[in-house]
Amino acid sequence: MTAVLEANGLGKRYGRRWALRDCTISIPGGRVVGLVGPNGAGKTTLLHLAVGLLAATSGTIEVLGGCPAGSPAQLARVGFVAQQTPTYAGLSVSQHLRLGAWLNANWDAELAKRRIKQFGLDPNERAGKLSGGQRAQLALTLAIAKRPELLLLDEPVASLDPLARREFLQGLMEVVAGHGTSVLLSSHLIADLERVCDHLVVLAASRVQVTGDVDALLASHYRLSGPRRDPAALPANQEVIQESHTDKQSTFLVRTTDPILDPAWTIRPVTMDDLVLAYMSQPPGTKNASHPGLEVIR
Amino acid sequence: MIRLTWLQFRMQAAAAAAALAVIAVVLALTGPHLAHLYDVSGITVCQAHADCASLSSRFLNQASAAFTDNFLLGFGNVVVAAPALVGIFWGAPLIARELETGTYRLTWTQAVTRTRWLIVKLGIVGVAGVAAVGLLSLMLTWWFRPIDLVNMNRLTPAVFGERGVVPAAYAAFAFALGVTAGVVLRRTLPAMAVALAGFAATRLAITYWVRPHLITPVQATGKVVESLPGGGALRLWPAAGPHGPAGTPVTIPGSAWVYSIQQVDAAGHVVHPVLRAACHRSQAAIDACTAGYHRVVSYQPSTRFWAFQWRETAVFLALALILAGLTFWWLRRRLS
Amino acid sequence: MIEFQLDTASGVATYLQLVQQVHDALRLGLLEPGDQLPTAQQVVIKLAINPNTVLKAYRDLEREGLVRARPGQGTFITRSLPGTDPGTQARFLAAMTDWLLSARAEGLGPDDIEAIYRTAVRSCFAEGVA
């Protein structure tokens, strides 16, 4: 699978503050990739860099093998839904579709009309009068109908009610199933990501903390609990991601590809929730934890 | 992109078209009457021979009575305000609104580059603004023609900026200023304020500091300057004889734009002599005191009206182009 | 056609739940050889899950020999589950009843029996662990 997004040492600085730093990732195609992290971690920055709304301060980024927003052809291959799904409040739904048709060479008008009907949007309603969920569906339709190879979505469901969220993800997964589109979806709601993502990138403190296929990540992380122990006493092949101690007991969340042989440990598998939270709460300045070995090479 | 720009712009275009239509109708209905008043006033005949002060003021009174002063004044204000309105309401929100509402994140990720997007938006709305103001000013220049022929004051700041082609150039500049302010400030309301203030300041600055230097003024030298009654004309006498000014005078009509009347010494330097009280006792005393000095009148004849119009148009268009270039650069380099 | 459900709180991987539901349907006779399973697209429209998950479940079922994917047509049941004949079931039912009676005689209550049962099932049927 060729990579849909390749970043090398990518960074973006505003004044003295780095919004994103030392980002080196290779996101495989044909997946639904979750970009997760707390607010201000750099998710929007990364997506805006990928789609050409921002220019990098350091490092490089390549999307579908080309420069982001380098040419109309490049822009046509990538669909984007920005945070809070901006739309033209004064234009109606059908006028937005015409906007899509005018500005995109590869516009699938039938698909767009079908989706609008499927989600019950009134074509003559002004976008300003739509509910948040309806606007999100409109924005997604605009991104999808241009038949992109890659869809980038910036927190598309953050401000939606549960029903609208579910409908949005249903619509999105339908597109993935039908067209094989690669998706990179950012969110700070882990529950939604668990349903739909098979590849994960965790961002925290403007750095990539971990990245890899969800199955591989879950298979290589364990929660160990047992009698109190110093983390330095653990074998070298077990990397401690999170630790907590009481006076009698220690609990560690470790990453290792080797079997755990110490009989003193109670070993429990790790859920995506635990894993993401553990990486998100790593103190800033921890070394970049993207290990290529974690990615499943198919 | 063209169709999208039109879709976003059509309300404003319709408003402008409606306003222009109303004004055109009013002018078309009233213009012929004013022209008729002028034709029957006899001024065309008298101007060839002598000054027509009384006929002129009678015509102007008739015009005032027919159209009331407010009406006449109102039209002038429209042409002064129109470029500013284009800058504030068409220029400032053009990009600023998209940046403010975040819709740029939708449009710049469709398959159209930022540069093309900007070119089309600037092109369509800018040309529309310039054309609208240009049309307005030409209509008004036509309507005011009789009054201008009587007043002969087209070069004065109050009138110059309301006639001919310069208002269109002002509109181009105001529009470009509004757009640039919008791109830099990223907020519509502050951009509108900057557009208004910047436009007013630039207009004033160019009117008083640049326009006088656009063409080198004519300089007439003489000994005595005489002010003629009714109309502001000047007569420049080459010599001061024993019984008053002598020689063949040069007449500078009231329609000329006089920069200055200066005292110049034999070497050509401007001097500001303070005539001592003693000099004022008699004509002979004055002559004695001013023996070595000449008077120089710097002025622009009114025939240079169109020369000034084109030059000032060029200045404002150049400014507009510079601002447009700045907008392109800012949008590509800084907004990243 | 079978309609899949998802229990997000159960802790069981999504694709395993799908496989389990196909097994249950086969056992209950809701699915028979020749029936078509929903397409990945149909499943994800309803459940909002990753289509790869559905494909993974179907691949597992194919490996077990229960279904076959026909390109361009869909995924179809090829045979029913083994070990569902009534004789075997009756035998195990009798063995289980004996076991329960002796457990009750030893003083184990329903909760103890449930805990033992769950632990045994987990360790016996958990993926890849003997």
User: How do residues A184-241 score in pLDDT, each as one tens digit?
Assistant: 999 888 888 888 998 999 998 888 888 999 888 988 888 888 888 888 888 878 888 8
Mean pLDDT check: name the lowest of A47-56, B17-26, B59-68: B59-68
Arithmetic mean of pLDDT over chain B: 86
By DSSP bridging, strand A78-81 and strand A150-154 are parallel
Residue B50's pLDDT band, with cuts at 50, 70 and 90, is: low
Q: Determine the pLDDT at residue B335.
A: 66
Chain A residues interacting with chain C (CB cutoff of 8 angstroms): 31-32, 166, 169-170, 172-174, 176-178, 191, 194-198, 271
ipTM: 0.85
B98 to chain A: which residues are within 8 Å by CB?
none
Q: Determine the pLDDT at residue A285.
A: 46
pLDDT at A287 over 70: no
pLDDT at A296 over 50: no
pLDDT at A274 over 90: no
Sign of the four-CA dihedral A57, A63, A65, A67: negative
CB burial string C51-85: b at 16+ within 10 A, e below: bbbbbbbbbbbeeeebbeeeeeebbebeeeeeeee
For A175, the enclosing helix (H) or strand (E) is: helix A162-179
Residue B220's pLDDT band, with cuts at 50, 70 and 90, is: confident
pLDDT at B276 over 70: no
User: How do residues B180-195 score in pLDDT, each as one tens digit?
Assistant: 999 999 999 999 999 9
* CB contact (8 A) between residue A177 and residue C44: yes
Query: From the CB of residue B277, how many other CB atoms can be counted at a distance below 10 Å?
Result: 8
Of A31, A166, A178, the CB nearest to C48: A166
Residue A291's pLDDT band, with cuts at 50, 70 and 90, is: very low
User: How do residues C2-61 score in pLDDT, each as one tens digit?
Assistant: 889 888 777 788 889 999 999 888 887 778 888 899 998 999 999 999 999 999 999 999
Q: Determine the pLDDT at residue C11.
A: 75
Could you tell me the pTM of the whole model? 0.82
Q: Which two tokens stand for residue A33?
A: 């990739």
Q: Regarding predicted confidence, which is higher, B318 or B55?
A: B318
pLDDT at B329 over 60: yes
* CB contact (8 A) between residue A195 and residue C49: yes
C–B touching, 3+ CB–CB pairs within 8 Å: no
* CB contact (8 A) between residue A173 and residue C46: no
Q: Determine the pLDDT at residue C18.
A: 93
Mean pLDDT check: name the lowest of A55-69, A155-169, B71-85: B71-85
Range among A120-134, A271-285, B162-176 rated most confident? B162-176
Alpha carbon separation from A108 to A111, A145, A146, A148 (Å, rounded): 5, 5, 6, 11
CA distance B286 to B142: 49
CA distance A196 to A183: 10
What percentage of chain B reaches a pLDDT higher than 70?
89
pLDDT at A297 over 60: no
Minimal C-alpha gap between A9 and chain C (Å) = 30
Alpha carbon separation from A86 to A35, A127, A134, A187 (Å, rounded): 20, 10, 12, 17
CA distance B94 to B5: 10
Contact residues for A31 (Cβ-Cβ < 8 A; gap 6+): A1, A182, A183, A197, A198, A199, A213, C52
